[in-house]
Chain A
């Protein structure tokens, strides 16, 4: 009996080892074949996003949109001799998971670019891993300014990592844009600022506050909430007694929904304003009817209104994806497409095949891409930020987000 199980284990181990070697040889065989037979190269585009947990609605939208970009490129045979595939990893919105995913992507030689992540705090933990490997990372959603312009971005801008790009605009623009709308258009002057202390939320709340004060508005209270709890009644009561006529929340929809609901039920009938982190249908689902009148800014113009996006929306529907493309679908598609364009350029420059230092070349090529994407013109400035600085204010109306005002941000004073 014991011997038989020993044999079984040995057999299993041997089989496992064989499979692993087979994998290895297939990889190197694939690379060898591009010189010989041609047309057999597979390029993997990695996707890192929260595919489970609170933020999965957005994360799955990112994954599906990259998948659509890859399928489109393959169908069109956009880069001759190259077949794209995606490899999606779940970061659960945790910096530690993001970093181990980044390490795994770096270890896979077929990965020439990664789309993601969703969260700025996760991006912080991934940037160096990618940069050391010269592997390009294009985020569709990170908005923290420090990621591209360094921690001292307010005084002296310095790009920390040359391999990091993003198609979304930053909070340095998003916060003030919201402040201008709230003060000038919505005529609210007394704000209560709440954030979740995370990289994204705290950063957004700070840039909003600065601009709001500059415009002449008054901050009547501030609070930091713990994202792990759902009981914000004590905070809601403070909001009510502060006499604020608007609440700004730096954070994401899993907390913003209940927060909005509890503020309204505490008797403070004031709108909650947030950034792209709350611009999601789930926010309305969680806040219920209390969400009516709440505002969110999000990067770019609404995807549905852009002529360039019609095709994307139609293709996405035809793709039969179970989940919605959510807030960053268009940006994710454009992020993936930026990598595809870069791969195309590198392959074309190298006589139709991938060079040995493909990663570094692709990273350099992304810096210079310029094409008409789903969200408008896609190109990057010297920091790796999107040159497209359009933003939109959305308002909850009749149980859905409706675009209230689109525009580009102009600094005041």
Chain B
């Protein structure tokens, strides 16, 4: 059987999830030049928000078709709340501090959020099962798509379309662009930059929450550590695509996902490389790719948006 189409789909699905999370990294960086390393944990709290709605608010046995939209609402609500709270209490007080200070705060916040879920969320000390979408997989040709992945197939492009519309067509979106270009001038032109920054955090968190729900549906389980590695990958995707560039984030995610799937599938077939082809090497190849792109195109695949700031 030719497994290439299937492996491409595997990679694109994984990559869509990276992309959804990467958008949050890239937007916040584009506007305040802060790498929010707690963003992976915002993705995680979003997933737990969705689980809370399903397991503790909705009555047992609610159909997934009813539950899923409500879970999404719960996920977005929790993630946005956490992100806006983080912005208000952890990052805003440090906005004029040296660059390193908020970065360290972000790492501290990331650990704090993990431990908070670990300590206080019921039975979160080991993985918790996440509800799945009923029904069998879909097969097109010899490519199989799981029901759990259908959410991702629908949600990722929809989210991107929404984001493109929001940034390009709405007043607030244009305010975001202006703030990204030059916050001081934007402020003089009457843009409320504080509000814009909060919106960037909230919007990034909402996308991460959608990613968190997708993760739960895809793997059927979530845990307090899930945000760490995925957050790191999403950050890599953002850099790969050109940090600050929202289309770049999605593209970077897809490229990274496909690279991981293909390296697992094919590197071992290259003569002399059989030791480096297993799935445990996929992360290594992902970072090799990152280094190569940055060597030859330091601004990332689509270019950094912030680069045009004077």
Which A residues are closer than 8 A to B by beta carbons?
Answer: 52-57, 196-197, 222-226, 228-235, 237-238, 240-241, 254, 257-258, 261, 265-267, 282, 285-286, 288
Contacts and interface: CB of A to CB of B under 8 A. Distances in A.
A233 B132 contact: no
A228 B127 CA distance: 13
Nearest to A55: B126
Contact of A224 (B229, B262, B279): B279
By Cβ-Cβ distance, the 3 closest A-B pairs, closest first, are A234-B264, A224-B278, A233-B10
Contact of A234 (B10, B215, B223): B10
Interface string B263-285: 01100000000000011111100
A241 B7 CA distance: 11
Chain B interface main SS type: helix
B280 A226 contact: yes
Indicate the member of B2, B126, B223, B264 with the most A CB atoms within 10 Å: B126
A233 B125 contact: no
Contacts of B60: none
Interface in B35-84: none
B11 interface: yes
B192 interface: no
B220 A288 contact: yes
Interface in B253-268: 260-262, 264-265
A286 B265 contact: no
17 contacts: A52-B125, A57-B126, A224-B279, A232-B279, A233-B13, A234-B10, A234-B11, A234-B260, A234-B262, A234-B265, A237-B3, A237-B6, A258-B220, A258-B221, A265-B137, A265-B144, A266-B144
B152 to A, nearest CB: 12
B278 A225 contact: yes
A286 B260 contact: no
Given A57-B126, A231-B219, A52 B11 contact: no
Given A52-B118, A54-B126, A237-B10, A230 B278 contact: no
A240 B1 contact: yes
Indicate the member of B139, B262, B282 with the most A CB atoms within 10 Å: B282
Interface in B119-134: 125-127, 129, 132
A197 B283 CA distance: 15
B280 A225 contact: yes
B226 interface: yes
A267 B144 contact: yes
B220 A286 contact: yes
A27 B31 CA distance: 61
B159 interface: no
Contacts of A54: 126-127, 223
